[in-house]
Each structure stands twice: as C-alpha cells, then as structure tokens.
A and B are shown apart, each in its own frame.
Chain A
Amino acid sequence: MKADSLNIVGRSRRRVDARAKVTGQTRFADDVEFPRTLFCKLLRATVPHARIVRVDVSRAAAHPGVHLVLTGDSFPIPYGVLPVSHDEHALCVDKVRFVGDPVAAVIAVDEVTAGEAVELITVEYEPLRTFATPEESLHHPEPRIHDYGDEGNIHKVVALQFGDVDEAIAKADYVFDDTFFFEGSTHLPLEQHASIALKDPDGKLVIYSSTQTPHYVHRALSKALQMPAAHIRVIATPNGGGFGGKSDPFNHEIVVAKAAMALDRPVKISLTREEVFYCHRGRHPVLMRFRTGVSKDGKITGVDLQTLLDGGAYGSYGVASTFYTGALQTVTYDIPRYRFRGCRVFTNKPPCGPKRGHGTPQARFGQEVQLDKVAERLQIDPADFRLNIVVPPDSLTANYLRVGTIALADCIRSVVGRSDWKNKFRKLPHGRGVGLACSSYLSGAGLPINWNDLPHSGVQLKLDRSGGVTAFSGATEIGQGSDDVLVACVAEVLGIDPFDIRAVTGDTDLTPVDLGSYSSRVTLMMGNAAVQAAERARELLATAVSRRLNVSAERLVFAERRVFDGTRPDVGVSFQEAVCIAEAQFGTLGTTGSYTPPKPAAHFKGGGVGPSPTYSYSAAVVEVEVDPETGWLSVPRVWIAHDIGRSLNPSLVRGQVEGSVYMGLGEALMEEQAFRRLPPRLSNALVHKFPSILEYKSPTSLDMPEIFTELIEHPDPEGPFGAKEVGQGPLLPIMPAVANAVYDAVGVRVDEIPVTPEKIVKALQAKAAGRTARYGPNQFPDVPWPDPLLVSPPWEGGDGRASNQPARKRRTAEAGIERTAGVRV
C-alpha cells in the first residue's frame, strides 16, 4: 500500500485506549472485583538456600477467617516458561532457593487476616551453603541449587564458533581485550502483579492477571494443575507496565487458581512492592570479555566473546537470555569471524529473566564501549569508524542472521548532524563530553519458545450489519499500544475509523493465540495477522459490492467509511451497506489472519536464538557533564535516531523511544538490583539490598534530559505497512553512550554499569596515581567451556550447519504437534 494512500497509518492519533486511561477506567488486575472474594497471602522464605524440614500450618489454619492453607505438597508438578527449564513449583516442595521464594499460602476472608495467619506458620529449615556470586557457583558444584543443568551449579554453557576466530585475531593489526560488567536491574513496573481467579458458573477456571503472556500462563496452569487447557480461561488485564517482568507464568497465579477451584470462591492476590522485587526476572548481571581483532584500515577481523550470567535461583527465560548475550553482535557491524561462549549459573537470588532488550543490552554495552576504545586507538572519529563497518542490507551474518533493511548509517548520520558532534567530540571543555553508541533489536523472535509449526499470532474479525467491526487478538496491552496497532491496521485496510472497531484482546477463551507481548514481536506479528484478516474481509466486501454496483473489484476503494469506484467516487455504498450486501451474499461474515515468521537460515543447535523477520536499528549521542572533583554526573541532552521502518502512530513511537531513553538512563546511572549479606548474628542470609522504590533509585522528572528524537522511515517489506519494532531497541545505545561520553568529558573509562560518581572518582584517582585510567573488572574467571559447535560463515562455504554437531533427537510431544530437540528458544 502506497504511503500517499494511507489515511490512518503514519499520522499521530490519540491511542484507542486513551480515554479509558485518562479517566482511570482502565481495569487493571487489582481493579477487578467479584462478590465473595477471598484474599491470598504468601509466606516467603527468610533464608536463601535451605531444605524445608517441616512446615507447621496448624495455627494458621485455625486462625479465624482462614479458609485454606496451601503448601508445596499441593503443587507437585513443576512448570516454567521454557520447555528446557520447568524448574519451579507454585510453592516450594522440599527446598527454598532465595529469600522470597514462596513456601506457603493462606487464603482468608480479607488481606489483613491472611497476613496475620501467614505469620502463624512456622517453617523449620536446614540451611545449605549460599551462593552469592557467579564465581562461587562456578567454583563450588555442591550443594547443587537445582538437580538439573549442565553441571554443578552451572545452568547452561553454550559455545558457538563461526570460522577460525583465533587465526583472524592473531593476524589482526590490533587486538583489543576488554572485560566489562553490567549490573542487574529490575523492571519496576508501577503496577504490582495481581491476579484474581474464580470458578465460573460452568465449573471452569477463569483467571484475570497482570501478565504479558496469557498463552504461557494458560499452558503453565494446565500443566501445574493437571487441568485440560480448554477448561481454563486466562484474561490478561492491561498491564500497568511490564518491560518483561510479567512474561513468566508466576507462582501466585497458580496458587490463586488452585485455591479458587478448591473453594469455589473468587481468590485474589495483590503483591506488595517488596514481593515484586522478589518476582524479578530482570536484567541478568553479566561479566563479559571481548577480544576483538582490528585491521589498520578500521575493519573488524574477528570477535571472541565470553559472557557469564548470574541467573539467580531459577531458569526462567535464562537459556534464551544466555544465547541473546551473544546473538546480535553481528547484525550491526561486519564481523567476518565470530566465537561466542556463554555461561549461566544459578545463585541464591531472585531469578533473572527478560528485561527490555533481553540479554542483549549487556553485551551491546561492552561492544560499543570497546569500539569507542578502538576508534580512539586508531585515531578515527567513532562515528566514521562505525559508518565504515555497517552491515550491508539484504545480507547474511557470520552466525546466519538475515539482515533485511538496515538504516543504521542513516541513524548515525542523523545523531551526528543534529548533535553537532563534529564540533563537540574531544572539543568540549574538561568536564563536558559527548558519547556515541548504536544498537539493534529483534522485531520478534523468529522461532517460538514451544517448538511447533503453529502461527505466532492470529487475528479474527467479525463484521456485522451494524457496520461495526470487532477485532480479536491474543496480544496483551502493556502500555506499548498493541490495541492501537490492531485497530489501526484493520481500520486502514477497511477504510473505516478506528472508533468503529472494538478490540477484544488477551483472552484465551475469546481470542486466537498470540504468543505474548515480549521480544518486540506484537507490532510486526500481530500487525501482519491483522492486515491479512482485514484484507480477506475487504476481498469479501469488494466481491459483493462489485456485483451490486457492476464495477470491477479492483477499482473499488475503501476509504472514509465508504466503498466506491476509484474512478467515479460518487458511485459507491457506505461501509455499513457494503457489509450488509456481503452478509446477504455470503452469510455471516468473519475472517482470520495469522502470522508465522520466515524460516531462519541457521541450522545449528542454538541457532534458534537471534533470527527475526527484521531488525530495528538505533544510534544515540549522549552529552554529559561530570564534576571532576566529585564525579557527579548529569545528562543534559540526548539525541537519538531510530530505524522504525514506518511509524504506525508517530506519537506512540516517539513515546516508546523516549521511554527507552529514560529506562536506559536509569540503568546507566543508578538502577541496581543488588544484594548484601545480613550480619552473622542475623543469620548471614543473602538478602536484597533495598526491595523498595525509595531506595531502588530510578529517574524522576527532575532527572530527565532533553531528548531529540528522529524516526528514520524506510518501510520494511516484512512489517505491516513497513513497520519494525520500537519498544526495546532505543534503550540499548544509551548505556554505552553514557560511558563513552564520560571518557570524552574526563578521560577515564568506567567499564561497568551503572556509571556512578563513586566509580568515576575511583577511575580519576587511578589516573592521578599513574595507573590505568579506568574502573571496571580485570578478570574473567575460568569457565569449563565445551568445544564449540563449528559453523563456517556463509562466505567460507558454510550452509548454516555445524560440522561437529550430533544428529538431532526428535521426539513427539503434546498430541503430536510439538517436538523438543535440544534448545530451541
């Protein structure tokens, strides 16, 4: 569809849910209420690693107002989001693995009573050695936190090699060897997780929950409660912020579902803020080492990357996160040979998982800071250096990712020009500086978590004689605007107003499956499904109207709530008449659309992480002011450009870009999911340093810089109307750009996130003492890496297969529709 013929797409509009949101009528999970609702409170572990010897619930059960007390005995069947790590029980069965792990649940007449009864439960623990750091977990295989995983307390090691990297680095003119650390952070959605479950009048289970992934909750409930999925209805309420933190099926969801079915009364849970910090699934702390070979003319000859992820106490999305730390290095810059080795260990802390950018921001930070060092050494401007190595469009990378459209060079030129980079870089007074960094992100994962051949997203349309259209989609509105994307796509194709369309979303009874609001997949995948459904509806209407008007269907135009002859606009019918004519001819009108991503080019184990129908690109210039005495750091201005393909609703796209910059600055400057040990007299337990919003620092309105955004629009053939993702990519360049700007301002490297005044001062002191002008890690521990899978890059005769990979085992599962073959996430 040509841009000039678009009426809705590409124009800033009020989002379809704007009125509900500004009037406070959007119903979040905790706003849902039913008569006779009971309330649930969880008893959470007070020790980080221990066997459960005994749980005595007798006093809690006898407490007035208590209806039910549950323990791990009621939840023998484990679940998890990835098929390779079903390692959670709704309540701990025989051991606890972090402070905050749920041990028992009380369901009572109200929240206060449930809280009182929880205090009456006694748990006897047999303490086990606690693992606080990845190094401890690497060095001490026993006691194992889990009885599965690659070995000891190593959850997963992966090793992939694309061409002879050692040779490429050995022959390089320069070799850069840098170690970086990226501290963990949490999503901090303003809405605390809440769920309310009930038994419907038919006797089936219904749960309303603040989840980004109703489909995965649906699956987990079916498995953990051993109920047919067809008898479970999951309704994803609009999320009060997600950012990845509501993408796992959660223990509290399973607990209230079980309780509601047992008691035949609605059961609600609303987590406290402290509990949200324990749910976590946030950014993995990652230690990483980049060895990069560079030629004199500024080309990369090869990259050897190692990453070590602190996974926390459970699997979550961690195997995927591990692969993602090494997946996307190749889609921005030419890397002819590449080796990636990643290791995720279990520790006794809240589980890490996917946070905005999922596994990629950490290594993107290391890569972009190292490139800044390379440019400095080669005496090339960092922007020119990057422009010289940008991946060409329509190419295949060393690790077999298909790059289609790429406007990274345009993004770099945009921020360089608008920020007056050439007159600022290395030219501002001491204490002020600018830094540049780039990034890329998926527009949805190319392969599903549960390996099957089914569509990733489906949309159904109902058209009736009222002239109204209802669009059904399993996608979940988490603030990103997915309802608006759905409606905009349908309205554009059918030539009607967005207000004529009712969106029904995120309800497993009513809506076709969409895999969820994560991995920046919704606009592209759900949008394509919506366009297909709408085009099929348009074809039905056009066929019917063509007969009635005696005008060929090709000449019919759908616009302004009319269907008319494009050459004689007065000859036509209203949209409502068109629907009636078609309904009379064809019967009840409904269409479907679905979307399945293209097959990836990679055929090696692990090659399932990284492929995407298309990648977005971003570049940012960050300006900083650093007080050389105190290290105090502020960010007055950020310029960012984002390769969006096409903006479906520019106002919303801008909001996603600015929100990403904001969250990136939080990570760059202050946010830390950090832990400490209590003093020995207080149990020595490993606890969250500050599970409260007051002390977990995040930026306020006072901390925000001016942000200058430019959207680069070159429509991508894979996206609906050419759209790519925007929810995650623009976050990634911010952290490295801040670190690079600090170097420009005061000449020291902080190779660690967050970049705090304290670290800057330490680096300045090191510089003054004649040591390396740097703060950051110096060592990467010994990891028992396996021999890597050997895959030749495309330009060395490779076909995407590993030369040393054993044949795949295939086994049939789940009624023959799903196969599990190693890791395919």
Chain B
Amino acid sequence: MENVSGLQPDSKARLALTLNGEAVDVLVESYKTLLEVVREDLGLTGTKHGCELGECGACAVLFDGQPMLSCLLLAVECGGHDVVTVEGLTTGGQLHPLQEAFAECGSAQCGYCTPAMLVTAKALLDAHPNPTRDQIVEALSGNLCRCTGYLQIIEAVEAAAKAGVR
C-alpha cells in the first residue's frame, strides 16, 4: 500500500486533539476514521453511524465549530483541532438548551439521528442566533431522520433559538 504522509497503514499514530473541551492524546491506527476513534478507541458512543460513506449525516460532530461527517475524516488529520460530540453539549450536568428543546418537543423518537442533529443545530445557532425556518431546514438537510418527518426537530431548533440560545 502507498505510504501516505509517512504513515504505514498498519501502524499507530499519535493523535492529540481537544475533545469536548478536554485534551486527548492517544495512539490510533492510522487507517481509522474520527468516527471509529471516537466510538471505539475513546468509548464515546453517542456519535452514530448509518452508512460510513458520508450519506446519512448520523455521524456529524463539530470540527472547529463546523458540522463535519466524522466517517469521512481520518482521525490522524484531526490533530490539534477542536472536536465536539453530543457528549460535549451538557455542561455541569445541565442539558444544553437545544437538548432541552428536543426533549420537550418530542424531537427524538428512536434517537439515532439525534446526536448529529443536535450538533448540527448548535453550529447553526452559534452562527445565526435567530435563524429563519428556511435556514434551519437547509442546515439540517444533510441529516436524515426516518422517524419524525423533521417537523418536531425544526420546531425544537426554533424554540431553542427563541429562548436565546448560544
């Protein structure tokens, strides 16, 4: 196999990044995606997979504040960056207002798309504290949900925005 950036495909590489506000420094297989490292090596299973091909959106995490599909990111590319998963949304045992709104509006049915929906919505509200409905619909359009028909999710984002969430 071709030698990429000096890494052997079956070798381990050091990965140091900020994950949910905490410094993480681990050795990971160089072929692994960020999704695999977060779930399997670091045990944070809140981030989901639905295709591992960048199609469904279930694996979205915040990468330097932007929603990114963790199944399409090689973990070793993430060194030095800031990654936030659903586990990083609660602070001090308190749910993030988006989490409160999702719980209140019935936005999580099976709950499988929910973690990625939440981080994607957070990125939207961070950039646009008062989004229009069209902006919300557009922002969430890469995240598939098979349960809800999206409307209660969109309403939760609106409710969180109305409550003045950052």
Interfacial residues, chain A to chain B (CB-CB below 8 A): 12, 14-15, 17-28, 30-31, 33, 112, 187-192, 238-243, 272-273, 478-481, 651-652, 654-655, 658-663, 692-694, 698, 700-702, 704, 707
Contact = CB atoms under 8 A, between A and B. Distances in A.
B95 A19 contact: yes
A478 to B, nearest CB: 6
B111 interface: yes
Interface in B97-127: 99-100, 102-106, 108-115, 118
Interface of B: 31, 39, 43, 45-53, 55-56, 58, 85-87, 89-90, 95, 99-100, 102-106, 108-115, 118, 137-138, 140-154
Contacts of A26: 111
Given A31-B45, A238-B111, A654-B106, A662 B149 contact: yes
Contacts of A698: 144, 146
A25 B110 contact: no
Nearest to B29: A112
A240 B48 contact: yes
13 contacts: A14-B104, A18-B102, A21-B102, A22-B99, A22-B118, A31-B39, A190-B48, A191-B50, A662-B150, A692-B53, A694-B55, A701-B154, A702-B138
A241 B99 contact: no
B154 to A, nearest CB: 7
A702 B141 contact: yes
B10 to A, nearest CB: 9
A-B pairs, top 5 by smallest CB distance, nearest first, are A24-B46, A479-B110, A240-B112, A21-B111, A662-B149
Contacts of A24: 45-47, 85-87, 114-115
Contact of B53 (A25, A694, A704): A694
Contacts of B147: 241, 479, 655, 659
B161 to A, nearest CB: 16
Given A21-B108, A22-B114, A654 B55 contact: no
A190 B56 contact: yes
Contact of A190 (B47, B52, B113): B113
B114 A241 contact: no
Contact of A23 (B55, B87, B113, B153): B87
A480 B148 CA distance: 10
A157 B115 CA distance: 46
B110 A478 contact: yes
Interface of B is mostly: loop
Contacts of A188: 146
Given A23-B90, A692-B53, A191 B150 contact: no
A655 B144 contact: no
B51 A693 contact: yes
A655 B106 contact: yes
B152 A654 contact: yes
A661 B99 contact: no
A436 to B, nearest CB: 20
B45 to A, nearest CB: 4
Given A22-B102, A23-B90, A701 B52 contact: no
Contacts of B85: 24
Contacts of B45: 24, 27-28, 30-31, 33
A652 B45 CA distance: 26
A273 B106 contact: no
Contacts of B140: 701
Contacts of B87: 23-24
A192 B49 contact: yes
B149 A240 contact: no
B70 to A, nearest CB: 13
Contacts of A191: 48, 50, 110, 112
